[in-house]
Amino acid sequence: MDLPKPTSTAASSAGTETPNPHAFTCELPHSIYALAFSPTAPVLASGSFLEDLHNRVSLLSFDPVRPSAASFRALPALSFDHPYPPTKLQFNPCAAAPSLLASSADTLRIWHAPLDDLSASAAPPELRSVLDNRKASSEFSAPLTSFDWNEVEPRRIGTASIDTTCTVWDIDRGVVETQLIAHDKAVHDIAWGEAGVFASVSADGSVRVFDLRDKEHSTIVYESPRPDTPLLRLAWNRFDLRYMAALLMDSSAVVVLDIRAPGVPVAELHRHRACANAVAWAPQASRHLCSAGDDGQALIWELPETAPAPAPGAPAVPAEGIDPVLVYDAGAEINQLQWAAAHPDWMAIAFENKVQLLRV
Amino acid sequence: MALSASPVEEEPQPGNDFRNHLATAVRSINWSYAVFWSVSSTGGPGVLTWKDGFYNGEVKTRKVTNSTTQLTADQLALQRSEQLRELHESLQLSAECGGGDHRGRPPRPVAALSPEDLGDTEWFYVVCMTYTFRPGQGLPGKSLVKKEHVWLRNAHLADSKTFPRVLFAKTIVCIPLMDGVLELGTTESTMEDPDLVNRATTPFGELQFPAACTEEPNSSPSANDTGEYSDIIVFEDMDHTAAMEAMISEVHELRKVTDECLPHANVKEVTMEINELYSICEGLDVQPLEDDWISIDGLLEVPPSPEPSPEVATDNADHTLSTPVDRYRLTSFTPWTRSDTDDVGVTATGREPQKLLKKVLSGGAWANNGGGDGSTTRTSTQESGIKNHVMSERRRREKLNEMFLILKSFIPSTRKVDKASILAETIAYLKELERRVQELESTKELSVSRPTASVLRRHGHDDEVVRSRKQVSGAKRKKGSELDAGGDRQKDQHWVRSKDGPSNVSITVADKEVLLDVQCRWKERLIARVFDAVKRLHLNILSVQSSTLDGLMGLKVRAQFASSAAVAPGMITEALQKAISSKP
């Protein structure tokens, strides 16, 4: 019997024509940036990013128990208009508290979003308050780059603004609790740790931790190696408050920090092939995080076990760097990544005008 | 349903020769496994079913048999492959037998291996045994149709159409051989190598197979040198077993469906099947399955221990996603490998990195002048507008800081440099300075008053006078002519006078004109008296200017001598003084 001629027919290995059966996609009419999972209902809020006054927040429902392409869809009845593009959306993380949705853009807005009725006859979320800190005489209000809702103290929301300040709001009373000049340049992201402790990253390249009991002083946990390289995103591990992750501008690295050892990162994750855009910690694990970037990949990492008090300067990671454990290829630059706290199996990514629900 | 188990059952003793060839083939290229798919009549025309295989990969546990014969490594490996096959058989049979109570069941064939002894790659190997391929379907199918080898690299990243078995093996090659397809796989990603293909197929060159034979290869059952299967482990019956079997059968169904459906890319059907499967899994409270896999997890939950513990199974089922590393779970993600950088993935070359993220953080979608049309040029100007604001804010701050420093330089002896201290010291210094100024001014008053007194005295005595005197500030007017006494007295008088109110008179004579300048505290009928005095002096009044300031009356009179006789200015002064000082 003749052996076959060794002509090569290498099959392509990166075909993305057939959709991954475990990724559910919802396509929306405009490009999406902000995403937020609700802690109570299986709802994902997505905010458009159009540079005008006609943006929209669409609520998408999904079925975590029996996921399917059909069950992941937009709820047009519950979608509402939003003037400026929301830079961040977040539901009230405290499940016991009334269901609210907050958005940051030119100011902080809070919406009532009961989410108990997801039918076509339900009423869309209505605006509860607009929290604006601009002075009466000034027309200009510094846009908010991000905000974070305090899980322990749900009446507290901290906002980050390009005017270098961070403002802590008491949203029940609708007043400013405090406003701190956090950095020398615009603040890009903010994250709460405990009830009165938050961290922020800025264009000045530093990660600073603030304690509301001692507003005069802040702790610099990390500074970008090349001075003044802006830090763009920050994620604080809610499950294990030791760890934070930060993203730098024009960098594919994900920097993991241990606040007990400031200055030296625990790890720098370098496996993205293009710049990283978003990072999120696993909601119920201390050493797992996911990052996504311009290479269209979402990578799940598992950090190695480190000694409780890592020796300063001694890296606890292998010399060649940590490899991610799992990868998902979206096929386009992923701009946003959110890991559902209520459904740890699920995470959502946004690229172009699509939102994808991924199962972990 | 047509399971690939059937042909295996008909052939209890697969040809060891053939397997040896497989072993040689796989070893020669040092890959993980070799599987031979043969075209079997049972499945349908041209359908490839698992015929034989050799597992050369990682072995998780080595089952020590009671065999007394010392087995070589080769033989051990062969034995392993056999054990895996047996395990598969036993699983198949238990699935076939269906549910029911276990008492009436015939004793089932036993396997030397139990499920938990297997590592991941071994499981894959076992799973492969269940597969069938239609012509053109899957890699083996394609290979058969094309009659040439098909190399798939990075199989784990392939979509399910090309390679329905999403699995571990990174590189797969399928070579049409004899009446079937030889598949070789490895856990490493390897470049295509025709030479490798040749090497792998060489061992099979000498085997003769009847071309039309669709039955099992005609190989002589050689001596059983793979060792005794004397170690017997009984599969314990489990309460879950029945359910597991149902699941397994469902998975087969599903797999067939997906195998059928995928070429037509009928996602809906697949979804439905998946949903059905999930509903079964829901009822069983176990992990949902990936459509292409046997419920590996499910089987792992059936420990063949003497004390079956359903709790173990439930525990496994409740195993949450705290470790998403569990690869067999239903997941969108695939295991990551370190592949070449120019392979796979979307590299954003030439495009602006983090474009949307930067837009978000610049706050550039809006500006002071409200929303824009969304054009990028507008965005950039808005962005620069924001930047300008930031810059101007910074300049303002810098200016303020500079001014603080300047302020600090004015203050004597401050060591502190912070803004609060600078301001406090400035306030103190200013207060101090004001106090000193007041002090100085008050003393200056006195010193100033003396010269004027002396001037006036002189004036009083000196009749020739062309002097226009500067008016001292309102609070410090003094009567001129009464300052005749010495200094102290002047002071007293000054004080006394200030109580009554200051007053002074000046006279200027030029030719025939006389200018009278009177300033004094206003009293009733003062002006009348002045005019009377002027008249008595035989002066004709030409013009009068009067003003009041703080109760002080100022009179400027221009008069003319009525007669040719000039009056001495001193007399005029005296008369006026009298007039204004006389009590009404």
Residue A297: its chain B contacts at CB < 8 A?
345-346
For chain B, percent of residues with pLDDT exceeding 70: 40
Task: Report the gap between the CA of B288 and the closest CA in chain A (Å).
Answer: 10
With cut-offs at 50, 70 and 90, classify the pLDDT of residue B73.
Answer: low
The answer for B 535-564 residues in CB contact with A (under 8 A) is: none
**What's the gap in Å between the CA of B190 and the closest CA on chain A?**
12
- In this prediction, residue B310 has a pLDDT band, given cuts at 50, 70 and 90, of very low
Q: Which of B258, B341, B361 to mutate to test the interface with A (most CBs of A within 10 A)?
A: B361
Q: How far apart are CA B66 and CA B53, in angstroms?
A: 24
Segment among A244-248, A321-325, B384-388 with least mean pLDDT:
B384-388
Tens digit of each residue's pLDDT (9 = 90 or more) over B452-505: 444 444 444 444 444 444 444 444 444 444 444 444 443 333 333 334 445 677
Asked if the model's pLDDT at residue A245 lies above 90, the reply is yes
CATH superfamily of B14-97+111-204: GAF domain (3.30.450.40)
Which residue on chain B is closest to A13 by alpha carbon? B158
Q: For residues B184 and B55, give the distance between their C-alpha atoms in angstroms, rounded to a whole number.
A: 10
- What is the third-level CATH fold of B390-440? MYOD Basic-Helix-Loop-Helix Domain, subunit B (4.10.280)
B365–A51 CB contact, under 8 Å = yes
pLDDT of B528: 85
Residues of A within 8 A of B336 (CB-CB) are 271, 299, 323-327
Does the interface ipTM go beyond 0.90? no
- Winning range, highest mean pLDDT, from A173-177, B382-386, B519-523: A173-177
Would you tell me how many other CB atoms lie within 10 Å of the CB of residue A17? 9
Residue-wise pLDDT for B496-544, tens only, equals 333 444 567 778 777 778 888 888 777 778 888 888 888 888 888 888 8
B155 interaction partners in chain A (CB closer than 8 Å): 13
Q: Does residue A1 form part of some domain?
A: no
Q: Which of A3, A143, A324 comes nearest B336 by C-beta?
A: A324
> Closest approach of chain B CAs to the CA of A238, in angstroms?
14
Residue pair B198/B34 in contact (Cβ under 8 Å)? The answer is no
Span B321-328, average pLDDT: 44
pLDDT at B59: 63
Chain B residues within an 8 Å CB radius of A48: none
Contact B270 A288 (CB under 8 A): no
Report if residue A328 sits inside a domain: yes
Quick one: tokens of B103? 């008492």
- Chain B, 370-409: which have a CB under 8 Å from a chain A CB? 370-374, 378-379, 386, 389-390, 393
CA angle, residues A105, A106, A109, in degrees to nearest 5: 65
Chain A contact for B206 (CB, 8 A cutoff)? no
Contact B344 A13 (CB under 8 A): yes
Q: What per-residue confidence (pLDDT) applies to B507?
A: 80
From the list A224, A88, A82, A208, the residue with the least C-alpha distance to A145 is A88
Among A140, A360, A277, A80, residue whose Cα is nearest residue B325: A360
Asked if A10 and B271 come within 8 Å (Cβ–Cβ), the reply is: no
Query: Which of A1, A334, A349 should we substitute to test contact with B (largest number of B Cβ atoms within 10 Å)?
Result: A1
Considering only residues B113 and A65, tell me which one the structure prediction assigns the higher pLDDT: A65
Is A309 among the domain residues? no
**Which CATH number does B504-581 carry?**
3.30.70.260
Q: How far is A332 from chain B (nearest CA, A)?
A: 6
Strand partners, A147: A159
Q: Domain-by-domain residue ranges, chain B? A: 14-97+111-204, 390-440, 504-581
The C-alpha R_g of chain A, in whole angstroms, comes to: 21
A300: nearest CB among B322, B330, B333: B333
DSSP structural state of residue B142: H
Chain B CB contacts of A332 under 8 Å are 346
- What domain range includes position A147? 20-133+141-303+320-359
Whether pTM exceeds 0.80: no
Q: In the structure encoding, which two tokens stand for residue B461, read together?
A: 């005595």
A112, pLDDT greater than 80: yes
The CATH number that applies at residue A255 is 2.130.10.10
- The residue among B93 and A144 whose pLDDT is bigger is A144
Q: Is the pLDDT score of A208 beyond 90?
A: yes
Name which residue leads in pLDDT, B196 or B282. B196
Q: Which position has the token pair 């069983």?
A: B284
CA-based radius of gyration for chain B: 59
Q: How many domains does chain A have?
A: 1
pLDDT of residue A90: 93
Q: Is B491 on the interface with A (CB under 8 A)?
A: no
Q: Which of A9, A13, A145 to mutate to test the interface with B (most CBs of B within 10 A)?
A: A13
Return the residue in A2, A3, A72, A289 with the most chain B beta carbons within 10 A, the one to mutate for interface testing. A3
Most confident of A306-310, A348-352, B310-314, B500-504: A348-352
Beta carbons within 8 Å of B100's beta carbon, 6+ residues apart = B242
Q: Are B333 and A358 an interchain contact pair (Cβ–Cβ within 8 Å)?
A: yes
Cα distance between residue A55 and residue A61, in whole Å = 20
What's the pLDDT score for residue A243? 92
Supply the pLDDT for residue A36.
92
pLDDT at residue B342, as a whole number: 43
The Cα–Cα gap between B397 and A175 comes to: 27
Render pLDDT for B272-300 as a digit per residue (tens, 0 to 9): 555 565 555 455 444 444 443 333 333 33
For A317, half-sphere exposure in the C-beta direction (CA atoms, 13 angstrom radius) is 19
Distance CA A129, CA A234 (A): 26
